[in-house]
Amino acid sequence: MSRIITICLMMAFCFATLSSVYGQAKPSNPKPGSKGTRAELDSLIDRLGKTQPDWFKSTQLNYPATLDLTWPMQAPQGGWNNQKNVGQFYWDIVNPNPGRWKEGVKLMHHLLTLHKDDPEKRERHMLSLARMYHNLLEDYGRSAFWFRVAGVEKDPVEYASSAVILAECYWRLGFEAEARKLLEKVPSSVSHAKLLGDLGDTEKAIKMAMDEEDSQGYALLAAGDACRHVGRYDEALKYYQKVITIPVPAQNPPGRLVKNRARAEANVAAIKSFELSDPAKVPDGTYKSSSQGYEAPVEVAVTVRSGKIESVKVVQHREKQFYSAMTDTPAKIISKQSVKGVDTTSNATITSEAIINATAKALASAAK
């Protein structure tokens, strides 16, 4: 029944969008944590979801002529090919290239229309759109719209991972109470614990993370991140140190624990640098350092002028799914004039964290 309702809603939306005049881009969103009623949240999401962003009409529908728009989920004979398989095209071509993010969103809208009579594919397209608006464009209103139409809010257990992101959308839009109400219905997970930590529910986040069965260090990292977020650095160090001491088994697919141990080591080094990372103590100049990202070390160049951080630039990396971390995280560091208390970018936490850690190390190494 929920899928029938979903299809009806989407059909109505598609016909409406074909005949209406579209308006604005992102709204001027309230800051996370501000108050708002459920009716105001519904109105905001409905308004944004039923209008195109201001860039939509001028963005070309751009994809390889060889791309199989039927988007089969099974691996084709001969393996994945980013010029044939839609999922691989997004993974290899769209996500790592910010200049193609809007084209990618437009293509997903196109796929949604093409498969209007296929409920399974439409659901996949709607969830993909929701994640793209969230991860790539930080358009939380439109992201929430597509999650809702896909049925995530009505069934936060079946769509548990998506429900956590939807709750974050509510929070980012300024409706923290609604975010918390939704999270109460979502099963426990490391990502759930991470969002609780971002919301400042440190103890609850730690407990949830530690209740998860995890041999790869993700839960311990989440607990450490929750402590680090609120400045409880001594406790954060203890959790990170525990990750470092997890024995690496012979079978470690595909090196996840090794990467998590490297990430924990980088976090420990960064926290120990925090007290030395005051830009007021750093001579004018540009300083470089690196820290472990998801794929490999992320290198930054930090410029300081008159005791203030003037710029933070990522000068070298091999990350693929970094989303908006490369621009958002440096901007947050410059705004705060500190590496302490900087929020990491959702779904690109590791890359974002690497930028913060590398900046801390660069400032500490240059401090008087």
Q: Are residues 68 and 26 in the same domain?
A: yes
Residue 253's pLDDT band, with cuts at 50, 70 and 90, is low
Q: How far apart are CA 358 and CA 272, in angstroms?
A: 12
What does the pLDDT read at residue 178? 97
Q: Are residues 296 and 231 in the same domain?
A: no
Q: Are residues 45 and 170 in the same domain?
A: yes
In the listed set 124, 152, 183, which residue is the last one of a domain according to the structure?
183
Mean pLDDT of 347-364: 92
Q: Are residues 176 and 194 in the same domain?
A: no
Q: Are residues 39 and 169 in the same domain?
A: yes
Ramachandran angles phi, psi of 187, nearest 5°:
-60, 155
Predicted confidence (pLDDT) per residue in 128-146, tens digit: 999 999 999 999 999 999 9
Lookup result for tokens 């709204």: 27
Q: Are residues 14 and 138 in the same domain?
A: yes
What does the pLDDT read at residue 202? 96
Mean pLDDT of 33-38: 76
DSSP-derived secondary structure for 152-192? TTT-TTTTHHHHHHHHHHHHHTT-HHHHHHHHTTSPP-HHH
**Looking at residue 257, which CATH number applies to its domain?**
1.25.40.10
CA 126 to chain centre: 17
Q: Are residues 235 and 304 in the same domain?
A: no
Measured over all CA atoms, what is the biggest interatomic distance in the chain, rounded to whole angstroms? 66
What does the pLDDT read at residue 207? 97
What does the pLDDT read at residue 343? 84
In the listed set 160, 183, 206, which residue is the last one of a domain according to the structure?
183
Q: Which stretch of DSSP H or E encloses residue 276? A: none
Lookup result for tokens 């936490």: 349
What does the pLDDT read at residue 77? 75
- List strands edge to edge, sheet with 285-292: 285-292, 297-305, 308-316
Using CB atoms within 10 Å of the CB of residue 313, give its burial: 0 to 12 exposed, 13 to 18 middle, 19+ buried: middle
**Tally of domains within the chain:** 3
What does the pLDDT read at residue 261? 93
Mean pLDDT of 256-272: 92
Cβ atoms of residues 213 and 240 within 8 Å: no
**Looking at residue 346, which CATH number applies to its domain?**
3.90.1010.20
What is the average pLDDT score of the chain? 88
Q: Are residues 88 and 68 in the same domain?
A: yes
**Least confident stretch, 294-298, 348-352, 364-368:** 364-368
Give rounded-to-5 percent helix, strand, coil for the chain.
Answer: 55, 10, 40
pLDDT at 302 over 70: yes
In the listed set 268, 290, 317, which residue is the last one of a domain according to the structure?
268
Q: Which percentage of the chain shows pLDDT scores above 90? A: 75
What does the pLDDT read at residue 69? 96
Residue 29's pLDDT band, with cuts at 50, 70 and 90, is low
Structure tokens at 352: 């974002």
Q: Are residues 220 and 333 in the same domain?
A: no
Residue 27's pLDDT band, with cuts at 50, 70 and 90, is very low
What does the pLDDT read at residue 335? 95
Host domain of residue 254: 190-268
Predicted confidence (pLDDT) per residue in 281-292, tens digit: 999 999 999 999
Structure tokens at 75: 């691996």
Structure tokens at 19: 């005949």
Q: Are residues 217 and 179 in the same domain?
A: no
Q: Are residues 127 and 240 in the same domain?
A: no
HSE toward the beta carbon, residue 355, CA cutoff 13 A = 31
Cα-Cα-Cα-Cα dihedral of 302, 303, 308, 312, to 10°? Answer: -40
Which residue from 319, 364, 333, 361 is spatially nearest to 97, judged by alpha carbons?
Answer: 319
Residue 275's pLDDT band, with cuts at 50, 70 and 90, is confident
Task: Answer positive or negative: Cα dihedral of 32, 33, 36, 39.
Answer: positive
Q: Are residues 209 and 339 in the same domain?
A: no
